[in-house]
């Protein structure tokens, strides 16, 4: 956990002084057969272990691409360290447009989201921006502090977790605040939505259930370790990891823990459904397959750090590493390694 903490504190400090580090953990997204990964200030498209394109061709140290990408409408959307937003053609890697209205006024570190033709962009300048897929600004919403977390939406309301301890509910069409809730601890975890409720983890070692319509807290469940990522929601169960190296299965109705297991290291990424269960990665390089009942059919060890949430493409789970032997590694449902990828220098 030491490296992650150092990276996080360094990022917070450089946000204040206006300098950005040239290293960050990779961000992953995927469509039907292509993986999109941000690494060393660039966005790369990879298919079956082969690079299709990279953007930009040459790294601009003043405009490092650091956010996790979002995919929609045949485009890939990313933000950079100077608060600019890019739309990249998913097939060719050509730039469709760039929005520079807020150039140099903040940084886009958190993941972008595409919801019903709207691009949602959280920025360290405290604003959540909503643009159409051609880049035109629809509205912006100001939070109390830095935004590092990808927003989520049910198609009517945007739910935004923030480092300022607040959970915000914002009208998707207008950007109007519907309600806000102070959860008492910083929030880096993306909320998960389910029917009338949402579920969000905190850096104060809690999982919290909230009524979507009103912001009313339904229950709070204490866990071992801070929660950094979105829980995986499968029917009536939440699955998530913590920085203390625990994996939890929790009942959505009352927050009662169904089972918990050791992950082998800090589990900071969102689990992904894969095969007959789910995969969770750890800071210490484990790729762990769990059944929904709490078994662990297999575990694979990589050299390096795994912070990013994995994705599934073509019946393979894809993980992205920091200081690993390869940027991307893939596994079949049996745990058998498949293709790997390292970008050309």
Cα separation of 157 and 12, whole Å? 29
Q: Is 230 inside a domain boundary? A: no
Answer for the pair 218, 212: CB distance below 8 angstroms, yes or no: no
Q: Tell me which residue range forms the domain holding 118.
A: 26-135
Residue 6 vs residues 38, 40, 145, 296: alpha-carbon distances, Å = 20, 18, 21, 30
Q: In what order do the strands lie in the sheet with 166-171?
A: 152-153, 157-161, 166-171, 177-182
Q: What pLDDT does 24 receive?
A: 65
Q: Is 191 inside a domain boundary? A: no
290's tokens: 């769990």
Q: What pLDDT does 285 receive?
A: 96
The CATH number of the domain holding residue 52 is: 2.40.128.630
213's tokens: 């319509």
Q: Is 59 inside a domain boundary? A: yes
Q: What pLDDT does 25 receive?
A: 79
Q: What pLDDT does 23 receive?
A: 54
46's tokens: 């990879």
Angle at CA of residue 269, ends 263 and 271, nearest 5°:
75
241's tokens: 């990891």
Question: Per-10-residue mean pLDDT for the chain, 345 residues long?
Answer: 41 39 75 94 96 95 92 96 96 96 88 96 96 96 95 98 97 98 96 97 98 98 97 97 98 98 95 96 97 96 95 96 94 97 89
**Gyration radius from the chain CA atoms:** 19
Q: What pLDDT does 247 receive?
A: 98
Domain count, the chain: 1
Instruction: Tell me how crowded residue 209 is: count the other CB atoms within 10 A of its CB.
Output: 22
List strand residue ranges (DSSP E) for 3-107, in order: 27-30, 35-39, 42-47, 50-55, 70-72, 75-79, 85-89, 95-99
Q: Is 66 inside a domain boundary? A: yes
Q: What pLDDT does 2 receive?
A: 39
Q: Is 113 inside a domain boundary? A: yes
Q: Is 36 inside a domain boundary? A: yes
Q: Is 108 inside a domain boundary? A: yes
Q: Is 61 inside a domain boundary? A: yes
Cα separation of 345 and 326, whole Å? 13
pTM to 2 decimal places? 0.92
Cα separation of 174 and 273, whole Å? 33
Closest CA to 162 of 178, 139, 193, 141: 141
Answer for the pair 122, 110: CB distance below 8 angstroms, yes or no: yes
Max Cα–Cα distance, the chain, nearest Å: 51
């Amino acid at each position: 956990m030491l490296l992650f903490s150092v990276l996080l504190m360094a990022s917070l400090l450089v946000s204040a002084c206006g300098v950005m580090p040239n290293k960050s953990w990779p961000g992953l997204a995927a469509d039907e057969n292509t993986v999109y990964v941000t690494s060393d200030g660039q966005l790369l498209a990879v298919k079956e272990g082969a690079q299709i394109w990279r953007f930009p061709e040459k790294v601009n140290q003043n405009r490092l691409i650091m956010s996790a990408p979002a995919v929609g409408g045949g485009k890939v959307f990313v933000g950079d360290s100077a608060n600019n937003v890019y739309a990249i053609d998913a097939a060719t890697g050509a730039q469709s447009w760039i929005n520079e209205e807020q150039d140099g006024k903040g940084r886009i570190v958190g993941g972008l989201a595409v919801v019903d033709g709207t691009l949602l962009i959280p920025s360290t300048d405290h604003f959540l921006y909503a643009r159409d897929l051609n880049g035109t600004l629809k509205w912006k919403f100001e939070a109390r502090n830095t935004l590092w977390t990808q927003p989520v939406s049910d198609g009517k309301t945007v739910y935004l977790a923030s480092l300022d301890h607040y959970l915000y509910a914002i009208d998707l069409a207008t950007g109007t605040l519907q309600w806000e809730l102070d959860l008492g601890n910083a929030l880096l975890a993306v909320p998960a939505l389910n029917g009338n409720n949402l579920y969000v983890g905190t850096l104060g070692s809690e999982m919290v259930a909230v009524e979507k319509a009103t912001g009313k807290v339904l229950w709070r469940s204490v866990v071992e370790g801070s929660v950094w990522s979105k829980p995986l929601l499968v029917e009536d169960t939440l699955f998530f990891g913590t920085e203390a190296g625990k994996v939890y299965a929790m009942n959505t109705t009352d927050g009662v823990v169904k089972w918990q297991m050791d992950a082998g290291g800090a589990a900071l990424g969102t689990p992904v459904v894969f095969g007959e269960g789910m995969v969770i990665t750890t800071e210490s390089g484990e790729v762990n397959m769990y059944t929904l009942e709490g078994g662990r059919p297999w575990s694979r060890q990589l050299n390096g750090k795994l912070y990013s949430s994995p994705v599934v493409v073509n019946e393979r789970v894809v993980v992205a590493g920091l200081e690993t032997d390869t940027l991307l590694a893939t596994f079949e449902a049996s745990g058998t390694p498949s293709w790997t990828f390292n970008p050309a220098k």
